[in-house]
């Protein structure tokens, strides 16, 4: 199967096992079943132009004298001359003229055995003519009059109908390698119309360009829009520019969380895997600047680990005794299971919690800075949301303080006596 073998009706690949036909007017490939169900080619509005082109081609085609009607005035299938009311079609390969009714009965040109093999796209530039860029989802030409959308990460353009059928970048597996569609194809994607030079839609010209800034630039200048009404998609009321600034214009994890948040907000998805939240809770939440939830998690995890901690201290001070209070052992087991359940919740729902917390912070900042300039507002977003390692040190300090007071309590309460 070749990349151009995509049914123009159902936009699905045509495999070697499928029965396929080509439109006699424009040469569009289709499943035979799709054509029989629809009853016409999806490019029917352009067939007049194709008919004129094929007629000129038929007049120039060598060997037309061997046909039933070398002048193209009759059907090469039934052998009858055309009348004024007959609808005519022309073979896209050799220009042979036929009644549409006759072609629909056979779905083939009577001179198909003499046709030159159809040129196929191979992924490299054609040796016959420069290869026009094609949609990496369906294989059709990009500049065919259909509306296009662009991947915010690598800039890959696809037809909007292809995006609606499968809303993901066809080159997503190449994002980690820094894939750039424009650089790969050597053809720039059309840029949007020039907007006023304001801080809302321009990046700092002195900022060094990296892949992260390239992603941020694409979001700021080409936000993702809704396929229904063409309006910019939001994350529970938060604009994409606000979300990018809050997550960090230069943070390596911004593309991942931006995609997750937009997907969760617009699809209803709530489950995702976050191994870091599972392993490093609550220090991970301090790093993400989720200070309120981080303090709560620190206190909760500390309380849940106190019975186990006390049991371990007693054992380390008198390992040969083995005379533990059964109620303390039972409590340690129960709190351990609760802690495990708590970590599973974070593993599955932490990103959703992070999204809801981020949205609430952004909306609060928007209200606080409603009378400020856009520069001050975006600076506040960066300051409030950009991850910081310094907050991890605060979390570690809080944990050491809690452990210290627990040791003081154990010594003063006589647990070790």
Domain coordinates in residue numbering, the chain: 20-114, 132-190, 191-417
CA torsion sign, 235 to 211 to 172 to 354? negative
> Which pLDDT belongs to residue 198?
41
Q: Is 158 helix (H, G, I), strand (E, B) or coil?
A: strand
> Which pLDDT belongs to residue 189?
43
Q: Could you give the CA distance from residue 389 to residue 400 in angstroms, rounded to a whole number?
A: 17
Token readout for 194 is: 């020039």
> Which pLDDT belongs to residue 3?
37
Return averaged pLDDT per consecutive 10 residues of the chain, 417 residues in all.
60 79 74 80 67 53 64 82 82 78 72 60 33 71 80 83 80 78 61 42 36 66 76 87 87 85 87 89 89 90 86 70 71 90 91 92 91 87 88 91 84 65
Q: Enumerate the β-bridge partners of residue 141.
A: 134
**Contact at 8 Å (CB) between 60 and 37?**
no
The helix (run of H) or strand (run of E) holding residue 157 is strand 157-159
> Which pLDDT belongs to residue 201?
39
> Which pLDDT belongs to residue 59?
53
Total-model pTM: 0.47
> Which pLDDT belongs to residue 397?
92
The CB density around residue 253, as the number of other CB atoms within 10 Å, is 14
The helix (run of H) or strand (run of E) holding residue 208 is none
CATH number 1.10.3430 given to 132-190 = no
Q: Could you give the CA distance from residue 252 to residue 338 in angstroms, rounded to a whole number?
A: 33
> Which pLDDT belongs to residue 263?
87
């Amino acid at each position: 199967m070749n990349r151009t073998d995509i049914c123009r009706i159902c936009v699905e690949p045509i495999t070697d096992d499928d029965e396929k036909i080509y439109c006699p007017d424009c040469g569009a490939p289709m499943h035979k079943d799709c054509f029989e169900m629809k009853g016409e080619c999806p490019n029917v509005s352009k067939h007049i132009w194709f008919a004129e082109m094929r007629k000129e081609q038929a007049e120039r085609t060598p060997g037309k004298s061997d046909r039933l009607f070398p002048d193209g005035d009759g059907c090469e299938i039934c052998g009858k001359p055309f009348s004024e009311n007959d609808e005519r079609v022309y073979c896209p390969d050799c220009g042979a003229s036929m009644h549409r009714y006759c072609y629909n009965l056979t779905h083939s040109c009577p001179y198909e055995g003499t046709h030159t093999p159809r040129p196929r796209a191979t992924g490299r530039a054609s040796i016959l003519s420069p290869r026009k860029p094609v949609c990496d989802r369906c294989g059709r030409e990009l500049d065919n009059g259909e509306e296009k959308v662009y991947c915010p990460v690598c800039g890959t353009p696809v037809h909007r109908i292809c995006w609606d059928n499968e809303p993901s970048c066809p080159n997503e597996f190449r994002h980690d390698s820094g894939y750039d569609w424009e650089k790969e194809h050597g053809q720039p994607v059309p840029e949007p119309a020039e907007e006023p030079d304001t801080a809302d839609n321009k990046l700092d010209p002195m900022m060094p360009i990296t892949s992260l800034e390239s992603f941020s630039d694409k979001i700021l200048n080409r936000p993702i829009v809704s396929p229904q009404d063409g309006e910019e998609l939001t994350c529970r009321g938060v604009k994409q520019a606000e979300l990018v600034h809050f997550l960090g214009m230069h943070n390596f994890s911004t593309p991942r969380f931006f995609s997750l948040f937009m997907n969760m907000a617009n699809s209803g998805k709530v489950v995702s895997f976050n191994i870091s939240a599972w392993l490093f809770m609550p220090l991970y939440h301090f790093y993400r600047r989720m200070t309120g939830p981080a303090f709560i998690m620190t206190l909760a995890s500390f309380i849940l680990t106190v019975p186990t901690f006390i049991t371990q201290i007693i054992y380390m001070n008198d390992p040969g005794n083995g005379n533990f209070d059964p109620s303390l052992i039972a409590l340690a087991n129960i709190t351990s299971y609760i802690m495990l359940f708590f970590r599973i919740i974070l593993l599955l729902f932490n990103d959703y919690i992070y999204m809801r917390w981020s949205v609430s912070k952004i909306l609060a900042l928007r209200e606080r800075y409603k009378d400020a300039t856009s520069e001050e507002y975006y600076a506040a977003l960066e300051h409030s949301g950009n991850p910081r390692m310094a907050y991890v040190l605060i979390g570690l300090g809080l944990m050491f303080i809690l452990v210290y007071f627990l040791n003081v309590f154990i010594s003063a309460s006589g647990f070790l006596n």
